[in-house]
Structure 1
Amino acid sequence: MAKSKSKTYTTSELANHFNISVVSASRFIVKHNFKPVKTGNHNAKYYSDAVYQQMKKYYQNKPKSSVKQSHPATKDGIIEQLQARIKEQTATIELLKQQLTVKDEQIATANRIADQAQQLDLTTHNQQKSLPINSNDEQINTQEKHSWIWQLFH
């Protein structure tokens, strides 16, 4: 009896066939819980023709804009892709500028608060210096400076 050999595909072969990334093909396989029919050299996983048919059905119904284009054939296609990248990067730059403005405001606020704290500390220190010293405290301080022998004779 002859064995029936059905075609098997690796993840990268499936990805190349449908013009998607290998990561996208792997995610599709995991999402649909497909199991490999065999494992080859270097842990390469081979999937059955049923997986291929499921991917074919999925990617035929999917809009073409979401499928990765391999290479634009015309200069106009290249220009359109570059213009789209420029728009994306311009939007990213604007977002980063807004974030930078917010951070600058936060830094300015922190600097103002630090200046106020320093001024308050200096004011408190100057006020403590200008307080009058109680004469009893002064006598106690001078007595503590002399030894007990000196204090006996004076």
Structure 2
Amino acid sequence: MTEPTDTTAATVTAATDAEMRALARRVASGLRRGDVLILTGPLGAGKTTFTQGLGEGLGVRGPITSPTFVISRIHPSLTGGPDLVHVDAYRLGSAAEIDDLDLDAAIPDSVTVVEWGEGLAESLSDERLEIVIDRLPDDTRTVRLTGVGARWHDALPTAQ
């Protein structure tokens, strides 16, 4: 896939886990089947907390926990919406290993979230939402949402 040059960005601050989940629920309200989200940030930044909020917003079966050791989990929708495919690429070493997960079959009918996916998961979709979470010393998080592709024009939350 070619790298799109069409991007839209927003930066949001989340001071608590509750605010991180609320932000993710707002993001979830605009998601649809086939959307791919790539989450990046250091250990403890809030990637799984964000994904928990997405799951709440999408109305999927939980609980949502980090799939570090199983690599991937599917959380079926309880509301008739898209399922949530939650991938943790922390232990994967290459984009080829992402391909080995056969996510292509699940992506069209699901919302797919790849934690630790930067540099590995971009080939999953030309249109994706890249989310970078930085945790500051006071535990406040700065969340940068970058929509890649026309799909994300006017689709990003900009305020809390």
TM-score range, shorter chain: under 0.3
Q: Quick check: which has more Rg, 1 or 2?
A: 1
Q: Name the TM-score, length of structure 2 as normaliser.
A: 0.19
More helix per residue: 1 or 2? 1
- Structure richer in strand, relative to its length: 2
